[in-house]
Structure 1
Amino acid sequence: MNRPAVPATAPRPMPPGLRELYYPSPLRPRPSYRGNPGLILLGAVFWAASLLPVACAVVLLGLAMVWGAAAGEPVGDLLMTLAGVGAVWAAVLAAVAFAPGIRGLPASGRFAVVGAVNCLVTAGMAVWAAS
Structure 2
Amino acid sequence: MDHARNHQAAFTAPPFPGWGAGWQAPRPAAGRREGALLGVGIALWGVTYVSLGLLTCAWGVVLIFWAAAGEPVGPYVLHTVGAALGAAVLLAALAFAPGIRKLSAAARLALLGALACPGPLVLALWTWSAMD
What TM-score bracket applies, with the shorter chain setting the length? Answer: 0.5 to 0.7
**Distance in 2, Cα, partners of 1:127 & 1:69:** 25
Residue number among 77, 80, 97 corresponding to 1:79 in the alignment: 77
Partner letter of residue 55 of structure 1? G
Residue number among 46, 50, 53 corresponding to 2:51 in the alignment: 53
Q: Secondary structure at the match of 2:117?
A: helix
Question: For residues 73-123 of structure 1, what are the alpha-carbon distances to aligned partners after superposition, in whole Å with 9 as ceiling and x for unaligned?
Answer: 110110111110010000011111111111001211111110011123445
Q: Which residue of 1 aligns with 2:22?
A: 26
* Gap runs ≥5 in structure 1: 1-24
Residue number among 102, 112, 115 corresponding to 1:114 in the alignment: 112
**Distance in 2, Cα, partners of 1:125 & 1:61:** 12
Question: For residues 36-78 of structure 1, what are the alpha-carbon distances to aligned partners after superposition, in whole Å with 9 as ceiling and x for unaligned?
Answer: 3222111011112223222212211100101111221110110
**Distance in 2, Cα, partners of 1:98 & 1:34:** 23
| Identical pairs, percent | 32
**Distance in 2, Cα, partners of 1:42 & 1:105:** 15
Provide the aligned C-alpha RMSD in A: 2.9
Partner letter of residue 40 of structure 1? L
Count residues with an aligned counterpart: 106
* Change over 3 Å in CA distance of 1:57–1:126 after alignment to 2: closer
* Change over 3 Å in CA distance of 1:118–1:69 after alignment to 2: same
Partner letter of residue 59 of structure 2? L
**Distance in 2, Cα, partners of 1:89 & 1:33:** 34
**Distance in 2, Cα, partners of 1:128 & 1:89:** 19
* Gap runs ≥5 in structure 2: 1-20
Q: Which residue of 2 aligns with 1:90?
A: 88
Partner letter of residue 95 of structure 1? A
Moved over 4 A (4+): 27-35, 123-130
* Change over 3 Å in CA distance of 1:126–1:115 after alignment to 2: same
